[in-house]
Amino acid sequence: MKKCHACGHPWISEKKSPGVKEYCERCSAYLHCCRNCRFYNPAFHNECAIPNTEWVSDKTGANFCDEFEFRDSDEEVRSKDVRNDAIKNFERLFGTE
């Protein structure tokens, strides 16, 4: 399910991704922004998994990025579960529990 990065309100539409100036019905946050993109990752140089994208200073503001793909919140939950499992396995291995 696709949700707003700011409040978690679901975005329901027949479109694949929101328009550039489309905003959340609940909190008025922009939906076509870096924080809602599946490529957004603060660990990367440009905070984007695609290395050749242009720098966007406001990650919550509307932008015209052609690479934008709305993040699926189910993917995010799965990645957090994998991360937590890895941490638990590390702690179990090295006895830090």
In this structure, is residue 50 part of a structural domain? yes
pTM reported for the whole predicted model: 0.73
Q: What is the pLDDT of residues 26-81, one digit of tens each?
A: 999 999 999 999 999 988 988 999 989 999 999 999 999 999 999 987 655 455 56
User: Could you give the number of structural domains in the chain?
Assistant: 1
In this structure, is residue 62 part of a structural domain? yes
Q: Is 60 exceeded by the pLDDT of residue 97?
A: no
In this structure, is residue 81 part of a structural domain? no
In this structure, is residue 82 part of a structural domain? no
In this structure, is residue 10 part of a structural domain? yes
Q: Which residues have C-beta within 8 Å of that of residue 77, sequence separation ≥ 6? A: none
Q: Which residues have C-beta within 8 Å of that of residue 69, sequence separation ≥ 6? A: 17, 37, 38, 39
In this structure, is residue 65 part of a structural domain? yes
In this structure, is residue 60 part of a structural domain? yes
Residue 3 lies in domain: 1-71
